[in-house]
Structure 1
Amino acid sequence: MSTPDESGRTVSDTELSGSDPSGTELTGSDAGTPDESGPDASSADETSRRNDVSSIKDRQRAAARARLEKEMAERATAARKRRRNRAVIGSALAVVVIAGVAFVLVNTLKSDEEAGDPTVAAAGTVSCNWTPADESTGGKVKDVGMPPATVPNTGTSTLTFDTNLGKISATIDLAKAPCTGASFKHLAEAKFLDNTKCHRLVNEDTFKVLQCGDPFASGKGYRETDGTGGPGYTMAEENLPTGSAKPYPAGSIAMANTGQPGSTGSQFFICSEDTQLSPNYTLLGTITSGLDIVKDVVKAGDDGAFDASAGGGHPKKELDIKTMTVS
């Protein structure tokens, strides 16, 4: 008879009882051989043999159970890590759920309405669709209007964060991420992220990311609402990784979302190391200088505030964005 364990593995009576694979019990003696010492001695020997068999079976059952419990614990740990990896990109509040884990948190001001993909306009430009967002989903909105409907899709832009720890610069390829690049230019001109800070850090073996981009995350200390803010619009994802063993390499700046198509807003994450994530997040740009600043923040660790939900916590070493510019 077989019984399934909690992990779905089938454990047979043979494994738990201590029988050998052929079904013969491990008796420790040759069955059927008479004892020459007389009835009493034979009875005593038989009792001793049974006790030995029982002891062997007990030990084998205990060993089998220990192996099973260890295997189940290892599988549970691996499952937790997989769930957490899928949920890297959320905000601190479980307002939305990504891949079934309370933690795709991120720009939780999103609309359920899906933003359309960019459409080709005149040569050298592309049309972008901006979907209005409001606070009905539980997030916070800082309304600074919407970017232009038609934007350049050639050339590059330079994204610069002037922070309390030094300058971080990145290149945006407008041929690959024209709408997201235009959005950041619009937000920079509106001083949308000036005097804000990076509110979340995840520091695990397979991914190390610093999350920023909430216009309401500012000042000393952290609040429960940090990580729920964004602009008055969302956009479609673009420039998603394809066919790469390293979808988000070290130095990547990628856009956070709620796990739903068209939910990209202003929140982004910086990968301090090669990061394994599902290719569902827009690659905005690549850091050209200042990655060492991000690495130092990640190395300093987090306070574990989100361990029970999203994973990670607030950075112990604060990174404050004094100004953001796009040129």
Structure 2
Amino acid sequence: MASSRDRQRKLARAKLDRQLARRAAATRRRRQIQAGVGATLVLALVVLGAAWGLGAFDREPKRDTAQETCLWTPQDATANTNLKDVGTPATTGLPTSGTRPMTITTNQGGPVTAELDLAGAPCAAASIAHLAGRSFYDNTTCHEITSEGALRCGDPSGTGLGGPTYSFYSENVPTAPEASPSASPAPGQPPAYPKGTVAMIGNPPGANGSQFLIFFKDFNPPQPAYPAVGRITGGLDVIEKIGALPTVENGAGEKVKPKTDVVIQKLTVGEPNEAAPAPTSPASGAPSASPSAG
């Protein structure tokens, strides 16, 4: 009998030892899991803190203007024979502050001088400078005097369909003006495109190439669509004189083509100027205020 009780005690002891071992193992696993979760949480907090500090959660991403990049979208010259291939501008290392002088000589007088806005429209300025350096604009006609009070130029084909074999996105489009109860811009509000503004015009809108507008009247649309790229600094009276020319139909039923040919004999762009532009005097034939970006 004693031997049977000893065996039972040994069996019970062994069973208890196994239970204790399982509990100890479970405890170790639970602690390991807790330690792993804790380490993961600490790492996640470190990563989130670093991301927060770098501005990952800012409402608007921070832009490094020193590394400004322009994207040039290829256009098919076989599908549109009005396009002219003169290569593409650089994509990086472009100036993004100050201004760049532009000079236009026409058969109607001049010169007409302008400042391109490198801060507001660096890609448009880079494109115009690239094209000008390849004589793209030379001996081209300004094919339209628009109903909006602007001279439209920059298409070597003179059709409104021409340009380079690339396009680029819109920059510096003015914000919509505050509307009055009549749904028109509020009285006394500065126009989106003051007289003397230079703006790109794309075909279709937003796909900008080489064509540009020079406004000889204030223009304040309910929904601005043209990217403002600069302003006239001298010779605005020449543009106003051109704007007063009679117009004829352009072949598409629109009476917008100047009856007298308006030819850009030469268009050049100078080196970037980091200094702020000096105020211009209305007496010089230039606007007294630069285009507003909204």
Q: Which residue of 1 aligns with 2:5?
A: none
> Is 1:242 equivalent to 2:182 in the alignment?
no
Identity %: 38
* Mapping for residues 1-327 of structure 1, pairs under 5 Å: 120=63, 124-135=66-77, 138=80, 140-150=82-92, 151-164=94-107, 165-202=109-146, 204=147, 207-217=148-158, 226-244=159-177, 245=189, 246-261=191-206, 263-277=207-221, 278-305=223-250, 308=253, 311-327=254-270
Deviation at 1:243, TM superposition (A): 4.5
Q: Distance in 2 between matches of 1:197 and 1:285?
A: 20
Question: So what's the TM-score if we normalise by structure 1?
Answer: 0.55
Question: How far does residue 285 in structure 1 lie from its aligned partner after superposition?
Answer: 0.7
Question: 1:120: how far off?
Answer: 4.5
Q: Deviations over 1:256-306 (max 9, x none)?
A: 112443x10001111110123431111111001111111111112211336
Contact 1:125 1:153 in 2 (8 A): no
Residues 312 and 276 from structure 1, CA distance in 2 versus in 1: closer, same or farther, beyond 3 angstroms? Answer: farther
The structure number with the bigger radius of gyration is 2
Secondary structure (helix, strand or coil) at the match of 1:188 reads helix
Return the letter of the residue paired with 1:141: L
Aligned residue pair count: 194
Q: TM-score, normalised by structure 2?
A: 0.61
Alpha-carbon distance, 1:236 to partner:
0.4
- 4+ residue runs over 6 A deviation: none
For residues 287 and 159 of structure 1, the distance between their equivalents in structure 2, rounded to whole angstroms, comes to 9
Asked if the contact 2:176/2:224 (under 8 Å) is kept, the reply is: no
* Change over 3 Å in CA distance of 1:293–1:125 after alignment to 2: farther
* SS across alignment from 1:237: coil
CA change 1:136–1:248 in 2 (3 A) is: farther
Other structure's SS at 2:225 match: coil
Indicate the SS of the match to 1:152.
Answer: coil
| Cα contact 1:297–1:317 (8 A) shared by 2 | no
Partners of 2:67 and 2:99 lie apart in 1 by 13
Q: CA deviation at 1:322?
A: 1.1
For structure 1, list consecutive stretches of 5 or more residues without a partner in the other structure: 1-118, 218-225
Structure 2: gaps of 5 or more residues: 1-61, 178-188, 271-294
**1:132/1:273 CA distance change after superposition, 3 Å:** same
Displacement of 1:211 in angstroms is 0.7
What does the per-residue CA deviation read over 1:113-163, in whole Å, with 9 as the maximum and x for residues that have no partner?
A: xxxxxx955x53411000001135545111010000111111110111111
Q: What is the identity, as a one-letter code, of the residue corresponding to 2:75?
A: A
Which amino acid letter does the alignment assign opposite residue 163 of structure 2?
A: G
